[in-house]
Amino acid sequence: MFRKLIYIVISALLLFSCGGNGDGGKTKLVFKVGKVAGQSGYLAQIVEEFENENPGVDVVLEILPSITDQQHQFYITSLEGGSSDFDVFALDVIWVPEFALAGWLESLEGKFTDEQLANFLPGPLKADTYNGELYAVPWYVDGGVLYYREDLLQKYNVKPPDTFAGLKQAARKIMKGEDNSKLAGFIWQGKQYEGLVCSALEFIEGNCAGILDDGGNPVINSERAIEALAFMKQLIDDGIAPEYVTTTDEEATRHSFGNGNVIFMRNWPYAYNIFNTEGSKVKDKVAVKTMPHFEGCESASTLGGWQLGINKFSKHKDWAWKFIEFMSRYETQKKMALNVGLKPSRKDVYSDEDLVKQQPFMAELLNTLLQAVPRPVSPYYPQISLVLQAKFSEVLSGSSSAEQALNEAQTRLTEIINRRK
């Protein structure tokens, strides 16, 4: 309540001192974005650089919670009401078709030349296109990767595993040797939310299975998908993954690993910079590689990441575009990558010398991101995801078998997809 009051007072003061919109004062451009871990004010610095270049505008940075599902809920509510309270906003890669169909995004078709567009990673670009028109610009890209404690693997003479079976064996050996009841073998994002779908998809795809087939039909109860989910559950039952994995999101897993209590972790690339900052308990002890896969299949990394779009109801669309253009520049993306650890949406930044020096896995990461597996690109993805979140969660918590849960998921996804045909 008190915070809210302060916020209202500050907003009122800001509005007053800037003269609001027009009347000789500066234009107030509101940029809404989810909290990015470890950014410690750097985004504000970038925004200030934009303001220095554009004295006519004042950017107000409004931060939402970091969890994607919560942000989604916020946007649905405010955009359904036609809110013009914000101008530019960061969208999860899975939302663009849904928001474009609803008429909440300004079309950005033709804003960049084909040559400029060709420099962006193709996966996010495709996800930002709806009915042949571009509705958002890729800002930073995520792909699931495997973090591991290089020091512990070396101590036990264990090679970084390529398969899930190899990971399990390696974790078991190290856990036994360390004799530390707090040490977990493997963690991922396992609570019931979008992050669980991303994590589970890497097990499923890594076992040559998927959510939908090439024709867009659900295949989530295939034998191999069931096997992959059952394997995740078995990791918990065998004590390789801790019980608490059914409650974790990105930051919770990042904290456990960062406290030195985990050998292997699935997460997005942002955590690497945080682990290597001064004072970190795992500084210089962490390496990153592609996710493991099941025997005879290939590694899969879920495509994630955030886009910049313009609110269709915004009253400052020209400024909003200028801001997006600024955020997409080589220099801006390089700074965000160096200082915050967010991975560029532009391919050319990946070979930047300074960046490669700071984050040696950059070249391999670009390959991973180029091949990352998208979640279904559809306006109905949120409905599909809600089913998957619930069913995957039932398996991990032990309230359903993998077979039963995925059979139910198959029925529900078929209903959703048929209804839309």
Q: What gap in Å lies between CA 88 and CA 61, rounded to an integer?
A: 10
- State in angstroms the smallest separation of the CB of 69 from ligand GLC: 8
Output 328 or 345, the one with its CB closest to ligand GLC: 345
Name the amino acid, one letter, at 140: Y
Contact footprint for ligand GLC (CB under 6 A): 68, 92-94, 142, 194-195, 198, 250, 268, 304-306
Output 95 or 294, the one with its CB closest to ligand GLC: 95
Phi, psi of 68 (to 5 degrees): -60, -40
The residues, ordered by sequence, that sit 6+ positions from 100 with a Cβ below 8 Å of its Cβ are 107, 130, 131, 133, 135, 379
Output 105 or 158, the one with its CB closest to ligand GLC: 105
- Which residue in 114, 118, 34, 31 sits closest to 342, CA to CA? 34
Q: What gap in Å lies between CA 170 and CA 246, rounded to an integer?
A: 22
The C-alpha R_g of the chain, in whole angstroms, comes to 22
- State in angstroms the smallest separation of the CB of 381 from ligand GLC: 10
- State in angstroms the smallest separation of the CB of 270 from ligand GLC: 9
- State in angstroms the smallest separation of the CB of 198 from ligand GLC: 5
Q: Are strands 343-344 and 137-143 parallel, antiparallel or unpaired?
A: antiparallel
- State in angstroms the smallest separation of the CB of 385 from ligand GLC: 9
Q: Where are the alpha helices (DSSP H) in 54-93?
A: 68-80
Output 218 or 305, the one with its CB closest to ligand GLC: 305
Alpha-carbon dihedral of residues 168, 361, 210, 265, nearest 10 degrees?
A: 40
Secondary structure of the chain: what % helix, strand, coil (to 5)?
50, 15, 35
Output 18 or 63, the one with its CB closest to ligand GLC: 63
- State in angstroms the smallest separation of the CB of 250 from ligand GLC: 6
- State in angstroms the smallest separation of the CB of 180 from ligand GLC: 29
Output 57 or 349, the one with its CB closest to ligand GLC: 349
Residue nearest to ligand GLC (CB): 304
Count Cβ atoms below 10 Å from residue 159 Cβ, excluding itself: 9
Output 28 or 254, the one with its CB closest to ligand GLC: 254
The total number of residues written for the chain in this structure? 421
